[in-house]
Structure 1
């Protein structure tokens, strides 16, 4: 089945790479008569060219503009639905609103589930691929055709080329669970201060080593900065940050200044991104899993 990739504006950097290394038909969101994707009043414009009509995959990143990006994505899905495309899928490299995945008090919304429910129930999306989804493991996820795609193997492989003796750890309990790594636990002292704890075995393994700290995203960079400080106190020779999603520039700058080196996947278009995940997209859309490769 021929695959049409429709790249939203936030994912064009990945679509351009895929167009050179795959057999996919890659399409980009068209521009208006002014040659722009926005009207003067700030409204979003979307135009899709002719597709094969068999299998359409919308490639989208939820950053750096989550709200405008969701409008663009919704318009694209609406066009595909109106054209009665047989098989519509989403490939989301960074999921917007992914941390709003539970309701804690009356009047709130589970934003992550609400988005997925609309995409699948209203637009008829058959499958949603997500790279390192923050909400994987939540009970509600089981109701939807979601495939979580870990990027850890690609990130590790890039790091190991330069640091073959590196010791990988996790910065907190969430990353310990997601990546099956030894790591720290944290206790928040107040709104601004975090205290890190680890067992004696981790302390021993960190001492004198090059340590690779793996996490799914950087926002403020507070937890990662605290882990770097703790690793230095425990005698680490070097500390390397290994991140899937660079969400906030301030956090990225903080981590670059704190760590000896940053390995950052290009799930979001950033000048600091130095690990390409386009092969991950290509392989999964072609029906290959990491175990098959």
Structure 2
């Protein structure tokens, strides 16, 4: 496995601790024989959302696999309700159908994901939320890959705001995209590691 090979190479080079942010597959942590701190981008996003004072917020996951991430953000924001988009194909060769589990009518929806690639799922989810009466739809992702048709899809306007971190430089700037810095979070983790302080309290 390539990830295990890279982990071994890093350790052979003398690295004795690794700090990551929102690993797309959490199992990667298990490839290392040294401590790995996997930070969550939602730590940065929490304060940003709270400052917006949304009147009727609800956190949503764009797929079933992201429920744990969405639930963690909802808990940090003291929100009880959550929305899930369930994607499925009823029959072979048919297009994917999106079913919304939860109520979005009159709500300010906050979609959360670890990574956005072509933006197909996130933009389609935003479109469906608007059709079902959502007041606004914003999305947060840690890693803005934004490849292929992503920028064209974002320009459709279904997403009122896309908030990302600076883990990947943007290829293009759009009015709807807001970039949050990860520098202070990584800096604090490095400080705590250097002084042998707990990193867990950041989560």
TM-score, reference length from structure 1: 0.54
How far is 1:215 from its partner?
A: 0.7
Of 267, 271, 274, which residue of structure 1 is paired with 2:167?
Answer: 267
Aligned positions, number: 179
Q: Does 1:247 align with 2:181?
A: no
Q: Does 1:238 align with 2:140?
A: no
CA distance in 2, matches of 1:141, 1:177: 22
Identify the structure with bigger relative contact order (alpha carbons < 8 Å, sequence gap 6+).
2
SS at structure 2 position matched to 1:286: helix
Q: Does 1:176 align with 2:59?
A: no
How far is 1:195 from its partner?
A: 1.8
SS at structure 1 position matched to 2:59: strand
How far is 1:273 from its partner?
A: 4.8
**Structure number, greater radius of gyration:** 1
SS at structure 2 position matched to 1:157: helix
Q: Does 1:214 align with 2:112?
A: yes
SS at structure 1 position matched to 2:122: helix
Deviating above 3 A after TM superposition, structure 1's stretches of 4 or more consecutive aligned residues are: 137-144, 188-193
How far is 1:137 from its partner?
A: 4.1
> Could you say which residue in structure 2 is the equivalent of 1:114?
5
TM-score, reference length from structure 2: 0.75
CA distance in 2, matches of 1:141, 1:175: 22
- Kept in 1, the 8 Å contact 2:165–2:179? The answer is yes
> Could you say which residue in structure 2 is the equivalent of 1:195?
97
CA distance in 1, matches of 2:179, 2:116: 15
Q: Which moved more, 1:221-230 or 1:185-194?
A: 185-194
> Could you say which residue in structure 1 is the equivalent of 2:77?
none
SS at structure 2 position matched to 1:236: coil
Q: RMSD in angstroms over aligned alpha carbons?
A: 2.7
CA distance in 1, matches of 2:179, 2:13: 34
> Could you say which residue in structure 2 is the equivalent of 1:91?
none
Give the 3 Å change call, closer, same or farther, for CA 167–290 of structure 1 in structure 2. Answer: farther
Give the 3 Å change call, closer, same or farther, for CA 112–254 of structure 1 in structure 2. Answer: farther
> Could you say which residue in structure 2 is the equivalent of 1:97?
none
Give structure 2 stretches of 5+ with no counterpart: 75-81, 193-197
- Kept in 2, the 8 Å contact 1:159–1:263? The answer is no
- Kept in 1, the 8 Å contact 2:69–2:113? The answer is no
